[in-house]
Amino acid sequence: MPVTQYLVPVVVGTGGLTAMIAAASGMRFARRSLQWPVANGQVKSSDLRMRWRKSLIPSWDVVVVYTYLALDQPFESDRVFFGDWCASSDRAVRIAKRYPMNTEVRVHYDPQAPSRAVLEPGLTRYPIYGMLIGVTLVAVAVLVWRS
């Protein structure tokens, strides 16, 4: 068997496992965030950034940076919800409109690691999509390896 026949499934499988681990971590923190303490915060900046996908179709990412006090210390974060790295362009635009600059926000922060925070606690569909993509990549890797 040529080296490339081994290399492709190893690379694809590794990517799938990485996606699954990231998704599982996001799901775990998303569930926990429902129980986290809440602090008052303020949106420092809210920007839409264009990103070009491989299909050459532009999409938009939202970057919402907010500050808050937790355990009497100042913190800054940019996580809106767990899995926000894979939200759609439409959702990014809606998020930017919901969190304009200087808006007062409720920040849910991890009491064990106060720098870990989120504006929208709980599980969204996006980490689940990441898990499905990871499982699919691992299955493809196994099928290629066996062929």
Residues 146, 113 share a domain: no
Whole-model pTM: value is 0.76
The residue ranges of DSSP E strands in 9-120, in sequence order, are: 38-52, 58-70, 73-77, 104-110, 113-118
Summarised one tens digit per residue, pLDDT across range 31-74 is 999 999 999 999 999 988 877 666 566 667 788 999 999 999 99
Summarised one tens digit per residue, pLDDT across range 103-142 is 999 999 999 999 999 999 998 777 777 788 888 988 888 8
Residues 117, 127 share a domain: no
Instruction: Name 62's Cβ contacts closer than 8 Å, sequence gap at least 6.
Output: 46, 47, 48, 49, 80, 84, 87, 92, 93, 95, 96
Residues 130, 117 share a domain: no
CB 139 within 8 A of CB 132: no
CB 4 within 8 A of CB 145: no
Number of domains in the chain: 2
Closest CA to 12 of 136, 130, 137, 132: 137
Residue 68 belongs to domain spanning? 37-121
Residues 102, 45 share a domain: yes
